[in-house]
Amino acid sequence: MTNKKDKIIKLDAVVVGAGFSGLYMLYRLREAGFSTRVFEAADGVGGVWHKNRYPGARCDNESIDYNFTFSEELFKEWNWSHKFSEQSEILDYLNYVADKFDLRRDIQLNTRITAAHYDEEINRWNIQTDEGSTLSAKYFISGAGCLSAANIPKFKGLDSFDGEWYHTGNWPKEKVNFKGKRVGVIGTGSTGVQLIPAIAEEVDHLTVFQRTPQYSVPARNHPYDPEYLKQVKDNFSEFKRKRRYSFGGFPNDVEARPSALKDTPEEREKLYEAAWQKGAVSSFFLETYEDLTVNEEANETLAAFIRKKIREIVKDPELAEKLMPTYYYGTKRPIQDTNYYETYNRENVSLVDVKAKPIVEITPKGIRTTDGEYELDIIVFATGYDAMTGSLFKIDIRGKDGITLKEKWEDGEQVKTYLGIATSGFPNMFMITGPESPSVLSNVPTSIEQHVEWISDCIEYLRENEMNIFEAKEEAEEEWSKHCREVAEATLFTKTDSWYLGANVAGKPRRFLIYLGGVGPYREKCSEVAAKGYEGFSLRSSLKKA
Ligand code: N01
């Protein structure tokens, strides 16, 4: 019998992760004739949508916008039930995609890639998996996602807890029974805000441990009108074009008014109130006026409007004050909800301000803050992710001279990429929605499609031109990183502690790793680079053919 460890599997491309990115990457590369295999640590396809099964999980982008457009047939035959679909429906969709395009035969589930080392001698990536396989690939492509490495704060004593605990990003498949239980939720980001109302009715008592009060706006989710879906589908080409060239990757860019400060308070109120009543994708509020993310005073007009709404909804004025957000609206991920603030009017829900009275430890019985001990049966960590770089750093990635990605990015003074797609010193490695691309500040499937198409075109170009080394040039990434920082620093985004900056993870260097120049302009820049023979990248041929 051959020992798995002795057998080296040779492939053109190895792709990490079977979410939106990995599925489409596999489809494109296979269509182009490259031997490709996707490795997925979970026991099913779907990426974050496979793992985020917590109660209340649903998409907070509009369903018809949040899907693939590479296949008109797929787009037209899939019917979303609601404006904001729940997790199980998105997971069904991704499974449907995997089956429709016969992708499963090249996806290896239950297998984590643990290491990927570039061998300069032979110009190949040596890749190890946790079940002992060794692979040799020309191209190493990460579709690991920006928000997949769970952030579980290192509270003292977690191991001693006698009850059950869960992180929302690794939710079990079996139903968690909250009935009659005293439940503590740590975290009030997009996830906590979805989860809290969804479990409040079932639990005996819910204690929310809040560090930063959040702005949230009503989603007003509803079943889709089939007539509306038909209209969108009938205009597929226009829908796709708009999505690709818009600022945020959505098909309907809103016509923002120039400045919140140029309208009268009454005009502003009318605009904000209309958005509040309509319910919308939360980022829509930022599109009411052009200066909301760059001007503190303008931002305050919207922040004050939402604070007023919180005071109207929450009946206990003292509690309402505890829920009052103070940061610049939109500089943490905008949130939308169904009955979030209303949930605090329930008798069985209480709020603990852990900024004022921090969590000291987890005890066998529950959570101890500086104010006392809260006895709990279940603790839910809705504490988010080690975003942007966490999923890459979970793999031991080494480029030229054995330098690890972590050494290059974290021990160096700055993460540096060219276009968020590649980084110097790591030839033939590509990142789908990598750091310094629009990624999480865009409609993510739009950005994934753009990167996947750019990467597969690039790999085809290398084949056609008989080249086998592709690498970002240091000077190009230097310039791009500087540009990314300058764009971000001209906004209010860098003035708030958020996961965009890595501020949610203790000890993580504070860097803004998302390109804020807009999806459309970014796409044009990437296309221009490709049209100029991949300017800013070094394309060459190794002596030994890979
Ligand atoms: O994570 P978060 P999330 N002690 O980082 C708190 C996407 N998403 O899972 O704000 C106490 O936003 C932390 O407090 P603070 C979406 O992009 C998409 O909610 O850092 N509290 C915060 O309240 C989203 O933005 C969908 O002070 C601690 C919370 O935990 C992203 O995922 C749905 C703490 C974490 O909030 C992440 O959202 C859901 C500590 N030590 C999520 N550490 C869609 O529908 C952290 N917190 C597409």
Identify the pLDDT of residue 256. 87
Mean pLDDT of the chain: 95
pLDDT in tens, 428-446: 999 999 999 999 999 999 9
The pLDDT confidence band at residue 1, using thresholds 50, 70 and 90, is: very low
Contacts with 242 (C-beta within 8 Å, 6 or more apart), sequence order: 251, 252, 253
The pLDDT confidence band at residue 412, using thresholds 50, 70 and 90, is: low
pLDDT in tens, 171-218: 999 999 999 999 999 999 999 999 999 999 999 999 999 999 999 999
pLDDT in tens, 269-316: 999 999 999 886 666 788 889 999 999 999 999 999 999 999 999 999
Identify the pLDDT of residue 282. 61
- Cβ < 6 Å from ligand 1: which residues? 59-61, 147, 153, 186-192, 211-212, 333, 354, 359, 382-385, 440, 499, 504
The ligand 1 atom at the shortest distance from the C-alpha of residue 191 is 19
Question: What would the mean pLDDT of 385-402 be, rounded to a whole number?
Answer: 96
pLDDT in tens, 443-453: 999 999 999 99
Query: Exposed, middle or buried, 510 (CB in 10 Å: 0-12/13-18/19+)?
Result: exposed
Residue among 383, 496, 508, 513 whose CB has most ligand 1 atoms within 8 A, to mutate: 383
SS (H, E, C) 503-544: CCCCCCCCCCCECCCCHHHHHHHHHHHHHCCCCCEEEECCCC
The ligand 1 atom at the shortest distance from the C-alpha of residue 187 is 30
Distance 313 CA to ligand 1 centre (A): 23
Residue among 52, 53, 191, 505 whose CB has most ligand 1 atoms within 8 A, to mutate: 191
Residue among 337, 504, 513 whose CB has most ligand 1 atoms within 8 A, to mutate: 504
Identify the pLDDT of residue 4. 56
Identify the pLDDT of residue 2. 40
Beta strands of 334-425 (E only): which ranges? Answer: 335-337, 349-353, 359-362, 366-369, 372-375, 378-381, 396-398
Percent of the chain with pLDDT over 70: 97
pLDDT in tens, 160-176: 999 999 999 999 999 99
Distance 2 CA to ligand 1 centre (A): 46
Q: Which residue has a Cα nearest atom 18 of ligand 1?
A: 190
